[in-house]
Amino acid sequence: SRSLLASGKYSDFVITCGSDTYNVHKSVVCTRSGFFERAERFAVGKVSQAEAAESKVDLPEDEPPDVKLLIQYMYESEYEPTLESMTEQLSTFQGVKKLGYHYQFPHTCTPPNCPDEYMVCPHHECRPNSCNENCVKFVCAMCCQSTTAKPGSASQILLHAKMYEFADKYDVSGLKELAREKFSSACLRYWDSDYFAPAAHHAFSTTPEEDKGLRDIVISTVSNHMDVLNKPAMEAVLNEFNALSVGLLKMHAKDLGWTLPPAPIMITRV
């Protein structure tokens, strides 16, 4: 499929964005995307009737680099940067499991009966006399770096949020799940970067309240690293989106064993 896209051979559909032009194939893009399937048959959204008749679609609202990755996904079921192979992840997990600890998150000890010098992870140990259950639901930053390293830079965290948006915008099958998985991994690695706040803002501003896919990841990440709220950009996101504030409160209430009071029952008098 990659070579077919690169050559444009037998192309019967054109997608343009900015100065980029893609000679694509209806059998690929129209089967992967409900948007392009509809655009191929008749005018949809900002696709004119003339464009539909010419089997051509222009995407003026989106950034060319993002559209390039969208098209890559429709042909390859993947987009850059790619996830680590499952084989590598499995071998890493099996290797450290033999040593008594693991890379699953969050780490945790076993209070109140912690064994002597229990290894919570390769970088931290729990001692019975000083535990105080600080190792419960503990996330080691060094483990995050070693297990979630992906090619590319911290900017990918925002990219994955955009691709998640594209999944709905262009009705692309499978893309939403992949983007969510990549976003989750990127948050583990890049939560302290300057890209996290814009990515969190994009996640909350481009999804409806009932879509928890990225929102829950942002809430969980901030909950595990509350110091990010000291950054003005992240504080602004918190102030703008009540759902983020409420989500953090609910998560901490749950961790502390608090229960929210039931909603009052409305009595209607006739």
Topology of 2-76 in CATH?
Answer: Potassium Channel Kv1.1; Chain A (3.30.710)
Output the pLDDT for position 157. Answer: 95
Using the Cα atoms of residue 66, residue 71, residue 72 and residue 74 in order, give the sign of their dihedral: positive
Output the pLDDT for position 8. Answer: 72
What are the pLDDT digits (tens) for 181-218? 999 999 998 999 999 999 999 999 999 999 999 999 99
Q: Is the pLDDT of residue 10 over 70?
A: yes
| Closest to 245 (Cα-Cα) out of 209, 221, 219, 210 | 219
| pTM (predicted TM-score) | 0.69
**Residue 5 pLDDT grade (very low, low, confident, very high; cuts 50, 70, 90):** confident
Give the amino acid at 39. A
- Which residues are paired to 67 by β-bridges? none
Q: Is the pLDDT of residue 153 over 70?
A: yes
Q: Is the pLDDT of residue 266 over 80?
A: no
Report CA-CA distances (Å) from 21 to 48, 56, 72. 17, 10, 13
Domain ranges of the chain: 2-76, 86-147, 156-255
Output the pLDDT for position 26. Answer: 92
What are the pLDDT digits (tens) for 65-98? 999 999 999 999 999 998 763 334 434 434 444 4
